[in-house]
Amino acid sequence: MLLAMFLTVLLVAGGASRGDVMGQIVVRASAWCAIVIMVLFGARPSWRDAGPVPWFLAAMASLILLQLIPLPPALWQLLPGHQSVAEAGALTGEAQTWRPLSMVPSSSWNALWSLVVPAAALMLWAGLQDEERARLPGLLTIVIALSALIGLMQASGAGLANPFINETAWDIRGTLANRNHFAVLLALGCLIAFVWGFADRRRRGWRGGVAIGLLLIFVLLILGTGSRAGLLVGVLALGFVLASAGRWFRNAPRWLLPAAIATLILVVLVALVAGRAMSVDRAFAIDLGQDMRTRSLPWVMAMIAQYFPFGSGLGAFEPTFRMVEPFDMLKPTYFNHAHNDFLEVAQTAGLPGLLLLLAVLVWMIFASVNVWRTAQPSERDVALGRLGSAMLLLIFVASIFDYPARSPLMMTMIVIAALWLDNGRKAGGTAGLPGAGLHL
């Protein structure tokens, strides 16, 4: 299956968000190859099954292209925040030329090319048959389990270097470049593994045991990553698991669910006593006065106001932040993102980006309400729809504290989650937006 091969490439090389790492070349080339193969030899994609997801991707690509259209000097100099470029040109005696809205066009081009990965994932999914789509939760479980295996080796002291990503030595990060993103991936793994193990009544025997084992490993690794955001989304993931367990364990022996919960609590307690719960330790040791997210917040808010309503250009946060970075925040490492993707969207994409984000949120909320209210929770598409809803919720929550949606692997997870949510909404028999009698 072509999608399985693509996910393998993402597992190995798709864990970084930076545009200058070797993995981006491998991942994007693989995405283009997958698209070409699908166009020439693949089954005809069923775009009707994809719902609004292709439109959201097209809107994002269109927004970036608009930011890259060259504008005459008299026009771009009027854009909020762009006066510094004109002043620099005047100081150096450089003639003012046509420039795009984006302050850093190369970064915006990189943002545009990055969309080939979710586009390829979307096309590959749309070309799958029903029975192939049914195997996708198991495939994603394997991908996350393999990343977790690498994380376990790192936790044991093995300094595994991945030439395809930028990484921090001795961090527990699996196949991702960032421990926060790895923790979010593990939290998603808790959801996916549980649904894969228990949603199908006919195969709960061996699958259920494997799912519970993976769940315990994922929880241990989340505790060991040292990620505070990962700890939060991990708790949310376990809440979803426990809420679903009551329904799916209804016909199981009464002792099974309490025993599973007790085992999970015991594992967490052992990690705490053994000093391996770095996420918990960092949560209690946080110093807001020294935390870079807190210290940078006033400057990020000032940058939003400076470039509003058009933004500085998608992908341009880090260079534009360097223009205003105060001396007391300088350090050997650099502040590459706002560590709040909602604020970064406001700063780089401006009002159009916020409106697109709002449209996605409105669709997600109404589709989630419909899929959770349906009276057919045992149906496969509805179960996957609820899984997709929970996955998107975790990623949105994690995006308040970091930028997990920017690596190719996580982009693909988001696309699959959105497709599951939309198909679950359709299976529930209701629309994803309010009807004529319900006003926004």
Query: pLDDT digit string (tens) for 46-105?
Result: 888 899 999 999 999 999 999 999 999 889 888 998 888 878 777 777 778 899 999 999
The pTM of this model reads: 0.89
Collapsed DSSP state (helix, strand, coil) of residue 225 = helix
- C-alpha span between 263 and 7 (Å, rounded): 32
- C-alpha span between 111 and 61 (Å, rounded): 9
**What digits encode the pLDDT tens for the residues 120-164?**
999 999 999 988 999 999 999 999 999 999 988 888 777 677 888
Largest Cα–Cα distance of the chain, in whole Å?
81
Question: Could you tell me the pLDDT band of residue 272, with boundaries at 50, 70 and 90?
Answer: low
**What digits encode the pLDDT tens for the residues 208-254?**
889 988 998 999 899 888 888 888 999 999 988 888 776 666 655 56
Q: SS3 for 138-166, per residue?
A: HHHHHHHHHHHHHHHHHHCCCCCCCCCCC
Do 117 and 27 contact (CB within 8 A), yes or no? yes
Using the structure block, give the residue that is written with the tokens 């006033």. 298
- Name 42's Cβ contacts closer than 8 Å, sequence gap at least 6: 2, 127
Of residues 326 and 306, more confidently modeled: 306
**Rg of the chain taking only CA atoms, in angstroms:** 23
Collapsed DSSP state (helix, strand, coil) of residue 268 = helix
54-68, 265-279, 343-357: least confident range: 265-279
- Helices then strands, counting H and E runs in the chain, come out as 19, 0
The strand pairing partners of 71, in sequence order, are: 99
Alpha-carbon separation of residue 411 from 71, 212, 273, 433 (angstroms):
31, 26, 36, 24
Percent of the chain as helix, strand, coil, to the nearest 5: 70, 0, 30
pLDDT of residue 439: 36
Question: Could you tell me the pLDDT band of residue 168, with boundaries at 50, 70 and 90?
Answer: low
Find the angle CA(410)-CA(19)-CA(414) to the nearest 5 degrees.
Answer: 15
- C-alpha span between 69 and 63 (Å, rounded): 10
pLDDT above 60 (res 289) = no
pLDDT above 60 (res 279) = no
**What digits encode the pLDDT tens for the residues 327-342?**
777 777 667 788 899 9
Collapsed DSSP state (helix, strand, coil) of residue 259 = helix
Q: SS3 for 159-209, per residue?
A: CCCCCCCCCCCCCCCCCCCCHHHHHHHHHHHHHHHHHHHHCCHHHHHHHHH
377-399: burial string, b at 16+ Cβ within 10 Å, e else? beebbbbbbbbbbbbbbbbbbbb
- C-alpha span between 117 and 10 (Å, rounded): 9
* Other beta carbons less than 10 A from residue 110's beta carbon: 18
**What digits encode the pLDDT tens for the residues 16-39?**
988 888 999 999 999 999 999 999
Q: If we measure between CA atoms, which residue out of 410, 409, 401 comes closest to residue 338?
A: 401
Mean pLDDT of 344-366: 96
Alpha-carbon separation of residue 259 from 206, 210, 407 (angstroms):
17, 16, 37
Do 343 and 321 contact (CB within 8 A), yes or no? no
Report H helices in 308-378: 317-324, 341-373
Do 53 and 422 contact (CB within 8 A), yes or no? yes
Do 77 and 371 contact (CB within 8 A), yes or no? no
Q: If we measure between CA atoms, which residue out of 209, 181, 146 comes closest to residue 11?
A: 146
- C-alpha span between 316 and 108 (Å, rounded): 7
pLDDT above 70 (res 438) = no
pLDDT of residue 427: 79
